[in-house]
Chain A
Amino acid sequence: MEEISKRNKKYLLGIKLVSHLNWKLNKVLDCFDSPEHAWNAPERELKQRLGVSDEIARKIVFTRKGIDIEREIEKYRSLNVEMITTADEAYPNLLKEISSPPVMFIQGELIKNYKYAVGIVGSRRSSTYGRDFAYELAKKLSDLGITIVSGVARGIDSAAHTGALSGKGGSIGVLGCGLDVIYPPENKKLYLELKQKGSLVSEYPLGAQPLSQNFPARNRIISGLSEGIVVVEASEKSGALITADFALEQGREVMVVPGNVRSSVSRGCHKLIKQGACLIENVEDVIENLQLDKKINIGKKKAKDSVEIELTDEETAVMNCLEWEPKQVDQIIQSSGFEMSKTVSLLTILEIKGFVKQDIGKNYLKVR
């Protein structure tokens, strides 16, 4: 039995590497008895069974000839990339429920044994508020042992991963490119951490470039792996809305974090709320919506929250001048009544203590 699955995997990898076969992967698996059969099929049989044109059949045969499967397997092994199929035990059960990819490439162990996962998605163009909230939410959920799934993109995704990795639930990153292609490039460190402490997942073979058509497909895996998804910030055309659509199709809960009604980066979120998505204000809302409170132990959390950092009187005075919305430094200086240099110093100290965040354009907002 194991022997068969091993042989199957070998030829599956081969098929994944031939783009014309990969595009019709489900059909290929349906039309042939086994991957081995498909791999070794002569041109005429390919044409018959798959119903492709002469030219494409010829192309398939030509590309196939150029691939040395044994060498490819060696390459995947050296990079610690594992290939899992729906037949494998390691293949996440939740994902089997949906129109799941037959083959996935994975790095890291978390994907095989995570219990409950929540997807946190959002815009690449995001506000400080959105990134900060995504980070907090991911961290708190992760502290409760919930794994956070996201797409390793800029903005909200990165914030969610970073937050989740600092807790015990860990994080799974779903890529729209090969596992060895780092995109966006500034996320190199995040890739490494995900590999070590969480998992990286992709349905694309090594070396696949981050093409724009890959990303919507990736989003179905994000929602597929999770119990529900939280959209933190999404503009009207954001890819996060595609994820929300997939989630609804797959019967997953869609939860939305509201933003400022004037801000364009929250417009998509508000649209989802209008359509009936759950509004999320804090981590308890997420737990309640997914009915996770019965499944996991959330008793310990209270003790952890009680660690309070004390502020001096001066720091409190500056805090009182701040709002949840970004405020110009000059306005803060004026309303605080302190000297200019004093106010600015206090803002730095508050930022280090984690009470305040600086936004571009010398604006400050409170985050606690």
Chain B
Amino acid sequence: MLAEVESAAVVGMDCYKVQVEVDISQGLPAFNIVGLPDTAIQESKERIRSGTGNSEYEFPLKRITVNLAPADVRKEGPSFDLPIAVGILIASEKLKTNVDEYLLIGELSLTGEVRKVKGVLPLTIYARKAEKKGIIVPYDNAYEASLVKGIEVIPVRSLKETIDFLSDSIDIQPVSDNFNRLLEEKAEEEIDFYDVKAQYHVRRALEVASAGGHNVLMVGPPGSGKTMLARRVASILPEMEMEEILEVTKIYSVAGMLSKEASLVATRPFRSPHHTISCAGLVGGGQNPRPGEVSLSHHGILFLDEFPEFQKNALQVLRQPLEDGCVTISRALMSLTYPANFTLIAAMNPCPCGYLGDRVKECSCTQNKVQQYRSKISGPLMDRIDIHVEVPRLTRDELVNAEKGESSEMIRERVQKARNLQRGRFNQGKIKCNAQMGPRQVKEFCKLDSMACEFLEQAIDKLGLSARSYDRILKVSRTIADLRASELINMTDLAEAVQYRNMDRDLIC
């Protein structure tokens, strides 16, 4: 007899329907799966055979053929275990019911339990779009699936439970929408700008960066607190919007990084990969490309410590996501696009030994070495970083005597106000903050009066700034004016913005 069960698979952030067809016919006992399955699916035969047996069902000793349609797309992963097992039980007439209304996903264990799989959130969104009545998901994935409204999410613990539910012998309560509860439960943020002592101008630079969504490069000797400061930037960025939360949670679902305890990514992600990371790890990759660090830090912060120590290629691949806010990965079989709209915070030492410009320890590098070290970061990449800030090392006295700073909450309030202003300015279109302005918007929104214009030219000329800093300075000064809630950019704003272009200047020789 023939049975059909509906399932779906994730490619990148999108899903497609997979029709699981099971045919049981007379003949020598055999179990074949066709439809370009990968090894994990080939091995699912053994899991299904044992899982069915251990769930008090008899595994049919007949010729079983499973087809995963469409037959020309490669399928991967163990999430088809459950639909295949259910299909076999229907085809062997152990279960006499129709499963058309549901989409099934789940991995089986040898005991017949259902295990969690990756990508349940996008699959649930797909199921709702396909107008299914419900989706049957592993119990451990139920929370992320329940973020989607307008569809019944049936959590199952085992194959037996699934069959009982489908044959109406037990009733499983659909997990209801718990979005708001999850939001309320959101863990209190432990890190706060309150802990940072002194470093006034760095704090200000980071506030400006957060207000305009600008990328930042922090330069400072070891032990100056670059990492500590970077971690706190997430706490002053504006609260995530619903739409953003769903988008980020979807990426984490695809990457299989959601758990029952943390099924919702409601705080801005902070990712800090080690500098040995490969290109694929950074932008995503693999035979079936998974999201990389740039996508995992979507709407959040990607912190790259020891910036010049990253592989040259790895830094170059950052350029597209920094420009477009997404990353397209092409492989022989497919081409995928993952969102990657993040704020880059890079940190580096001023020179190889780390102490150039330090007040206590003297630097032991030759100028050649310093230049070599800095040239590891290419011009085009440097161009995408709006704010450069030098982080000095504090002496012990300064550390002991300094007062504690403002709390993140207070800074965030100002940042939020500036962002709201920007939202109003670019009310339609893709641009959300000042950092994303193109040359046209810069021309339109960063108008200077003649005095300010003259001042900027003088600054570029006298301070040895490169010409390409011009647009960056304008963008940053726009944000500084926004923080004052002013439509006009004045000279003070410009003068402050000039301060954030230090790496363009030749201060080493």
- Residues on A lying within 8 angstroms of B by beta carbon are 124-125, 131, 154-155, 158, 186, 264, 326, 328-330, 333-334, 340-342, 344-349, 351-352, 354, 358-363
**Which residues of chain A are near B462, meaning CB under 8 Å?**
351-352, 354
Which residue of the partner chain B has the closest CB to A350? B495
**Which residues of chain A are near B61, meaning CB under 8 Å?**
none
B189-232 to A contact mask, C-beta < 8 Å, 1/0 = 00000000011110010000000000000000000000000000
Which residue of the partner chain A has the closest CB to B356? A360
- Report if B486 contacts A (CB, 8 A): no
Pick from B201, B366, B508: contact of A344, CB under 8 Å: B201
Knowing A333-B200, A351-B463 touch, does A346 contact B495 (C-beta < 8 A)? yes
Pick from B204, B357, B480, B496: contact of A363, CB under 8 Å: B357
Q: How far is the CA of A342 from the CA of B493 in the complex (A)?
A: 9
A-B contact pairs, 19 of them (CB 8 A): A328-B392, A329-B392, A330-B201, A330-B392, A334-B200, A340-B201, A340-B204, A344-B495, A345-B495, A345-B496, A348-B463, A351-B463, A352-B462, A354-B462, A360-B508, A361-B350, A361-B356, A362-B201, A363-B357
- Report if B316 contacts A (CB, 8 A): no
**Which residues of chain A are near B491, meaning CB under 8 Å?**
345, 349
Pick from B200, B359, B463: contact of A361, CB under 8 Å: B359
**Which residues of chain B are near A334, meaning CB under 8 Å?**
200
- Report if B367 contacts A (CB, 8 A): yes
Which residue of the partner chain B has the closest CB to A124? B367
Q: How far is the CA of A125 from the CA of B357 in the complex (A)?
A: 12
Which residue of the partner chain B has the closest CB to A360? B357
Q: How far is the CA of A33 from the CA of B407 in the complex (A)?
A: 87
* Closest chain A CB from B11 CB (angstroms): 48
**Which residues of chain A are near B152, meaning CB under 8 Å?**
none
Query: What are the 4 tightest A-B residue pairs by CB atom distance, in nearest-first order?
Result: A361-B357, A345-B495, A360-B357, A348-B495
Which residue of the partner chain A has the closest CB to B220? A361
Given contacts A360-B507, A361-B359, 9 further A-B contacts (CB under 8 A): A158-B509, A333-B200, A340-B200, A341-B492, A344-B495, A344-B499, A348-B498, A349-B491, A358-B507
**Which residues of chain B are near A354, meaning CB under 8 Å?**
462
Q: How far is the CA of A158 from the CA of B367 in the complex (A)?
A: 14
Which residue of the partner chain A has the closest CB to B484? A341
Q: How far is the CA of A68 from the CA of B270 in the complex (A)?
A: 68
* A348-B367 in contact (CB<8A): no
**Which residues of chain A are near B502, meaning CB under 8 Å?**
358, 362
Knowing A342-B492, A360-B507, A363-B357 touch, does A330 contact B499 (C-beta < 8 A)? no
Q: How far is the CA of A348 from the CA of B358 in the complex (A)?
A: 21
Which residue of the partner chain A has the closest CB to B389? A362
Which residue of the partner chain A has the closest CB to B208? A341
* A329-B496 in contact (CB<8A): no
Which residue of the partner chain B has the closest CB to A352? B462
- Chain B interface, number of residues (Cβ within 8 angstroms): 34
**Which residues of chain A are near B204, meaning CB under 8 Å?**
340-341, 344
**Which residues of chain A are near B311, meaning CB under 8 Å?**
none
* Closest chain A CB from B199 CB (angstroms): 7
Which residues of B from 335 to 388 have beta carbons under 8 Å from A?
Answer: 350, 356-359, 362, 366-367
Q: How far is the CA of A349 from the CA of B455 in the complex (A)?
A: 9
Pick from B199, B362, B480: contact of A341, CB under 8 Å: B480
Q: How far is the CA of A166 from the CA of B366 in the complex (A)?
A: 29
Knowing A352-B463, A360-B508 touch, does A330 contact B492 (C-beta < 8 A)? no
Q: How far is the CA of A341 from the CA of B199 in the complex (A)?
A: 13
Which residue of the partner chain B has the closest CB to A185? B371
Pick from A131, A264, A330, A347: contact of B362, CB under 8 Å: A264
**Which residues of chain B are near A329, meaning CB under 8 Å?**
201, 392
**Which residues of chain A are near B200, meaning CB under 8 Å?**
330, 333-334, 340
Q: How far is the CA of A341 from the CA of B201 in the complex (A)?
A: 8
Knowing A341-B480, A360-B507 touch, does A352 contact B201 (C-beta < 8 A)? no
- Report if B399 contacts A (CB, 8 A): no
Which residue of the partner chain A has the closest CB to B462? A352
- Report if B305 contacts A (CB, 8 A): no
**Which residues of chain B are near A341, meaning CB under 8 Å?**
204, 480, 492, 496
**Which residues of chain A are near B455, meaning CB under 8 Å?**
352
Q: How far is the CA of A154 from the CA of B367 in the complex (A)?
A: 9
**Which residues of chain B are near A344, meaning CB under 8 Å?**
201, 204, 495-496, 499
**Which residues of chain B are near A346, meaning CB under 8 Å?**
495
- Report if B453 contacts A (CB, 8 A): no
- Report if B459 contacts A (CB, 8 A): yes
Which residue of the partner chain B has the closest CB to A125? B367
- Report if B458 contacts A (CB, 8 A): yes
* Closest chain B CB from A127 CB (angstroms): 11
Knowing A333-B200, A352-B462 touch, does A362 contact B495 (C-beta < 8 A)? no
**Which residues of chain B are near A363, meaning CB under 8 Å?**
357, 359, 392
* A361-B392 in contact (CB<8A): yes
* A154-B495 in contact (CB<8A): no
Q: How far is the CA of A360 from the CA of B200 in the complex (A)?
A: 17
**Which residues of chain B are near A326, meaning CB under 8 Å?**
359
* B499-A348 in contact (CB<8A): yes
Which residue of the partner chain A has the closest CB to B461? A352
Which residues of B from 456 to 509 have beta carbons under 8 Å from A?
Answer: 458-459, 462-463, 480, 491-496, 498-499, 502, 505, 507-509
Pick from B198, B350, B458, B496: contact of A360, CB under 8 Å: B350
Which residue of the partner chain A has the closest CB to B508? A360
Q: How far is the CA of A342 from the CA of B26 in the complex (A)?
A: 87
- Report if B390 contacts A (CB, 8 A): yes
Q: How far is the CA of A261 from the CA of B96 in the complex (A)?
A: 95
* A359-B507 in contact (CB<8A): yes
